[in-house]
Amino acid sequence: MSRPPVVSAILAAGGAGARLGADRPKQFLDIHGRSMLELSLAALATHPGVHEVIVALPARHLDPAPACLTAAWPCRVTAVAGGERRQDSVAAAFAVVGATTDVVLVHDAARPFASADLVSRMIAAAAESGAAVPAVPVADTVKRGEARDGRTWVTATLPRTALFLAQTPQAFTRTVLASALATAGAESVTDEAGLVERAGGAVQIVDGEAANVKITTAADLAAARGPSAAGALPAFRIGCGYDLHRLVPDRALVLAGVRIPFELGLDGHSDADIICHAVTDAVLGAAAIGDIGRLFPDTDATWKDADSLELLGSAVAVVHGAGFRVGNVDVTVIAERPKLLPHLAAMRANLAAVLQVEVASVSVKGKTNERVDSMGRGESMACHAVALLVRAASEPRVPSPEPRR
């Protein structure tokens, strides 16, 4: 395939999780202040290679839908009613997969710690091989047992070098998964790779991850909630952003939402607010969930003359969905004219309000380019931004100030 594949992801969350013994389906239980469902959804919806996620939920939980399904994500997220069996839920979600989809991922809501790297490797493997399953080799000696006379007896020792423990997300080309689901029949299988195998298809094994654990029992949940749980988000992330636009007549000059009196303005599809654009890329980059061009492409008329403070606010919502909050940002604007000092306080206040931080956590500085290049000749302006994200806490944040225009 010469172009990157169009990828749809199915999140299987239709089960009751009875083995865990909780008062609700296990996908709604909390881990570090976020539900298992939200963490598993974030692993898919924030991946730059995934274009849509379809969540199969128990029908009784669709109205109202869980809040995490209606949050702002970089890709489209929808929900369908799951079925009695896992393959019924996957089939219901597959029925609404986009018409242009090339590769379909199927992931368990009970595996909230799958990494972005694993998702990338599964997409690549499916595009190349047609069907792929992540798996880890069996480390222990494996015995086959048989119940007899009220006790269990060893009947064979299996060669562990040929044994693997399957994980998700599993990945398939659209045609391979469609064929497997069509031949599913009445017999239940525990994963989609099993359907492909039963239909006579070949499935590639891709290296899985030890941290990509499935939460099945109360002990699994307790381990996941532990202070050093495998797969827990890092304490902080750092990202950088950059933007440059030409200065042209008959355009308003808008920086961090502040309209600045000047004879020229920045040329662009939206309001060309280079500060907001650079900060947007910095926060998205820190969370590794794409960039401003993916969320708000300049080929989409929706964003024509858009208020970039609002675009930044949408990006912040996506970052919150990925489990982070903004710690602080540092911004440097490069321009020969006009002087920015009189406007810095208003810029900082606007950014702080949208980023949901205190004003003291926002720095905005102006620099000249010493008359060098297009910025030095007054033909353009540029902006650099650095953002620190911190892992979200479960407690509410202090309200931020209102924006100033």
Of 224, 251, 286, the last residue of a domain is: 224
Based on the domain organization, do 381 and 241 belong to the same domain? yes
For residue 147, the enclosing domain spans: 7-224
Based on the domain organization, do 193 and 291 belong to the same domain? no
Based on the domain organization, do 197 and 260 belong to the same domain? no
Based on the domain organization, do 218 and 160 belong to the same domain? yes
Q: How far, in Å, CA of 354 to CA of 405, rounded? A: 12
Q: What predicted TM-score, i.e. pTM, was given to this entire model? A: 0.65
Cβ–Cβ < 8 Å for 287, 319: yes
Return the number of other C-beta atoms located less than 10 Å from residue 161's C-beta: 8
Query: Which of 16, 15, 12, 25 has the alpha carbon at shortest distance from 192?
Result: 12
Burial of 74 (0-12, 13-18, 19+ CB in 10 A): buried
Q: How far, in Å, CA of 340 to CA of 318, rounded? A: 30
Is residue 404, in this structure, part of any structural domain at all? no
Q: Give the domain CATH number at 105.
A: 3.90.550.10
The confidence score (pLDDT) of residue 184 equals 78
Based on the domain organization, do 118 and 15 belong to the same domain? yes
Read off the amino acid at residue 66.
P
Count Cα neighbours of 375 within 13 Å in the Cβ-side half-sphere. 14
Based on the domain organization, do 280 and 339 belong to the same domain? yes
The confidence score (pLDDT) of residue 385 equals 97
Q: How far, in Å, CA of 267 to CA of 31, rounded? A: 45
Read off the amino acid at residue 263.
E
Is residue 398, in this structure, part of any structural domain at all? no
Based on the domain organization, do 46 and 162 belong to the same domain? yes
Three-class SS state of 116: helix
The confidence score (pLDDT) of residue 399 equals 34
Of 224, 258, 278, the last residue of a domain is: 224
Mapping DSSP onto H, E and C, the string for 125-175 reads HHHHHCEEEEEEECCCCEEEEEEECCEEEEEEEECHHHCEEECCCEEEEHH
Based on the domain organization, do 242 and 213 belong to the same domain? no
**At 152, phi and psi to the nearest 5?**
-110, 130
Is residue 271, in this structure, part of any structural domain at all? yes
Based on the domain organization, do 191 and 258 belong to the same domain? no
**At 223, phi and psi to the nearest 5?**
-65, -40
Q: How far, in Å, CA of 144 to CA of 158, rounded? A: 7
Of 204, 224, 244, the last residue of a domain is: 224
Is residue 1, in this structure, part of any structural domain at all? no
Supply the DSSP symbol for 191: S
Strands 236-248 and 380-391: antiparallel
Q: How far, in Å, CA of 77 to CA of 243, rounded? A: 29
Contacts of 23 (CB under 8 A, 6+ apart): none
Helix (H) or strand (E) holding 53: strand 52-57
Contacts of 70 (CB under 8 A, 6+ apart): none
Return the number of other C-beta atoms located less than 10 Å from residue 139's C-beta: 10
Query: Which of 39, 44, 41, 43 has the alpha carbon at shortest distance from 29?
Result: 39
335 backbone φψ class: left, alpha, beta (φ>0; ψ -120 to 50): beta
Query: What is the mean pLDDT, run by run of 10 residues, along the chain of 405 residues?
Result: 87 71 71 85 90 93 86 89 89 94 95 91 95 93 91 92 92 95 81 92 94 85 66 76 94 94 90 94 88 77 81 86 88 94 94 94 93 88 95 45 45
Count Cα neighbours of 257 within 13 Å in the Cβ-side half-sphere. 22
Q: How far, in Å, CA of 98 to CA of 179, rounded? A: 17
Contacts of 231 (CB under 8 A, 6+ apart): 112, 113, 114, 115, 211, 212, 213, 224
Q: How far is CA 107 from the centre of its chain?
A: 14
Q: How far is CA 14 from the centre of its chain?
A: 21
Based on the domain organization, do 254 and 202 belong to the same domain? no
The total number of structural domains in the chain stands at: 2
The confidence score (pLDDT) of residue 396 equals 33
Q: How far, in Å, CA of 215 to CA of 27, rounded? A: 9
